[in-house]
């Protein structure tokens, strides 16, 4: 039986492993376990920044997703940015990803979020279709990034 819980600092080693899998397949990122561990710690220790939700199959973490919070001036309310959605490759196709995403959507609503925005690689048609099946729609907005 799988459950979704909020990550703790004890989960960081496994979450770092999952991020290594994710960042190995994304064009814009390179795995760096020490940086990923620091980022995870900063989110976990500050719930005002966001929450990391984990999918657990018994004691084993099989998936994770981040919800980071900000305020939308367009809506005048809290919104979430969904990042780092990853399911262990051995669990893919089992419904685990849908369970985790549905759990994240429900959790964001409980936190008072009025919208969730996410980014995925343009060429990852499978991910785009997955998110569209869960109600997400392509935006006319184009992401731009400035590294500092």
pLDDT per position as a tens digit, 75-87: 999 999 999 999 9
The third-level CATH classification (topology) of the domain covering 2-133 is: Aminopeptidase (3.40.630)
Q: Which of 28-32, 44-48, 54-58, 136-140 has the lowest mean pLDDT?
A: 28-32
Q: Please report, for residues 34, 50, 51, 75, 78, the alpha-carbon distance to residue 39 in angstroms, rounded to integers and kept in the order given.
A: 9, 11, 12, 28, 21
pLDDT of 27 strictly over 80: no
In this structure, what token pair is assigned to residue 105? 């959507």
Query: What is the pTM (predicted TM-score) of this model?
Result: 0.93
CA distance 103 to 61: 15
pLDDT of 26 strictly over 80: no
Q: What angle do CA 95, 96, 101 make, to 5 degrees?
A: 100
Structural domain boundaries of the chain? 2-133
Average pLDDT rounded to a whole number, residues 123-143? 93
């Amino acid at each position: 039986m799988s459950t979704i819980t909020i990550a703790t600092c004890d989960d960081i080693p496994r979450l770092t492993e999952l991020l290594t899998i994710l960042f190995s397949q994304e064009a814009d990122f390179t795995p760096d376990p020490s940086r990923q561990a620091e980022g995870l710690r900063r989110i976990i220790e500050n719930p005002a920044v966001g929450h990391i939700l984990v999918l657990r199959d018994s004691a084993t973490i099989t998936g994770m997703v981040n919800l980071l919070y900000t305020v939308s001036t367009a809506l005048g309310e809290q919104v979430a940015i969904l990042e780092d959605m990853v399911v262990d490759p051995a669990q893919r196709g089992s419904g685990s990803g849908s369970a985790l995403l549905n759990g994240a959507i429900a959790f964001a609503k409980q936190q008072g979020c009025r919208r969730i925005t996410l980014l995925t690689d343009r060429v990852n048609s499978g991910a785009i279709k997955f998110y569209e099946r869960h109600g997400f729609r392509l935006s006319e907005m184009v992401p731009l990034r400035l590294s500092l």
